[in-house]
Amino acid sequence: MKKPATQAQREAGKKMGTVTKALSLLTFFTQTRPEIGLSDLTRLSRMNKATVYRLLTELQAAGFVEQAGADRAYRLGPEVLRLAALREAAVPILTVSRGVLDRLGAATGETTHVSLAKDDMLNTIAHAYSPLHATRVAMEDAEVISFHGTASGMAVLAFATPEFTDAVLSGPLPAHTADTLTDPEAIRAVLDTVRAEGIAESVGGFEADVHSHAAPIFGPDSRPLGALAVAAPVSRMTPALRALIRSELRRAALELTRDIGGTCPPSYPGQAAA
């Protein structure tokens, strides 16, 4: 009787309320697709056009989306800025992150970034470049990256609940590059190492020529919220730089966790000593 409706619904296999449907529309906006027309959004969401239109109208009235002048395509609205500012006032992740990123970037001379876990992906919310080198790993905020193919993702997975890790590893694991790990068992083996060291490392797993280190950051409930990472060109990596990055990254991640009011779990390396 009931058709498989929206994408999220089919993925989750559950029913979704009207509010969830409306909010799920917002997830179709990405960096590469910042504006979406009614028909496109209808196709993307697999919902009825009238439904999408009504939901968009409500989202628009609330300022979550607005219509770009030229065509009548929709894009995210100014209200999200207001809420983000408010969220920052309550939990200053962005503000704190920027300071930590700048210092970590200065100490290592490489590109740094913070990403937060959301569903089955990570979102980069802030980044910083070091002026030290002319060549650097380029980043964008709001970039979406996978769990299995990145150091940040592995750092989170290593300290996530087993159920979550299982869910991620049982899903599709696309290879971003020739060096991406795609075998669940191989990934689990790496996660054991990450758990032991507290830092994840990835050489060319997401982007070729990028050597990444990442450490998890934890929330008040000791669960990993996301990760702090340093991305360096493979060509520049040396044992000395690697040691520097690992030491600075470990320190910076602990600082970030602390400053946002989080606590590391007992299993995190170095906690017992504290």
Which residues contact a copy of itself (rule: CB under 8 A)? 3-6, 17-20, 22-24, 26, 29-31, 34-35, 54-55, 57-59, 61-64, 68-69, 75-91, 93-94, 116, 118, 123-125, 140-142, 220-221, 225
- Residue 48 binds which one of a copy of itself, DNA, none, with CB within 5 to 8 A depending on kind? DNA
Cβ nearer to a copy of itself, comparing 93 with 190: 93
- Least distance to a copy of itself, CB of residue 137, Å: 18
Using CB under 7 A, count the residues that bind DNA. 25
Decide if 183 contacts 167 (C-beta within 8 A). Answer: no
Tokens 């869910």 sit on residue: 167
Other beta carbons within 10 angstroms of residue 95's beta carbon come to: 14
Question: In angstroms, rounded to a whole number, what is the distance separating the alpha carbons of residues 152 and 210?
Answer: 13
Contact call for residues 70 and 35 (beta carbons, < 8 A): no
Tokens representing 137?
């790993």
148 phi and psi angles, rounded to 5 deg = -75, -20
By CB under 7 A, residue 14 contacts DNA: no
List the structure tokens of 52. 């999408």
In terms of residues, how long is the chain?
Answer: 274
153: enclosing H helix or E strand? helix 151-159
User: Out of 33, 72, 75, 82, which residue is the one contacting DNA (CB under 7 A)?
Assistant: 72
Q: Which is nearer to DNA, 38 or 91 (CB)?
A: 38
Q: Are 210 and 252 in contact (CB under 8 A)?
A: no
Binds 30, which of DNA, a copy of itself, none (CB < 5 to 8 A, cut-off by type)? a copy of itself
21, 176, 213, 246: residue in contact with DNA (rule CB under 7 A): 21
Nearest approach in angstroms of CB 38 to DNA is: 3
196 binds, among DNA, a copy of itself, none (CB under 5 to 8 A by kind): none
**Residue span 25-64 as binding mask against DNA, x where in contact by CB under 7 A, dash where not:** ------------xxxx------xxxxx-xxx---------
CB of 253 to a copy of itself, least distance (A): 17
Strand ranges for the chain from DSSP E: 65-67, 74-76, 111-118, 121-128, 144-146, 200-203, 210-218, 224-233
Q: How far is CA 247 from the centre of its chain?
A: 23
Q: Which option in a copy of itself, DNA, none does residue 265 bind, with CB closer than 5 to 8 A by kind?
A: none
The letter for the amino acid at 56 is: L
Pick one of DNA, a copy of itself, none as the site partner of residue 75 (Cβ within 5 to 8 A by kind). a copy of itself
Tokens at 53, concatenated: 């239109």
H-assigned helices in 1-37:
7-12, 18-26
**Interface with DNA (CB under 7 A):** 1-3, 5, 15, 17-19, 21, 37-40, 47-51, 53-55, 67, 71-73
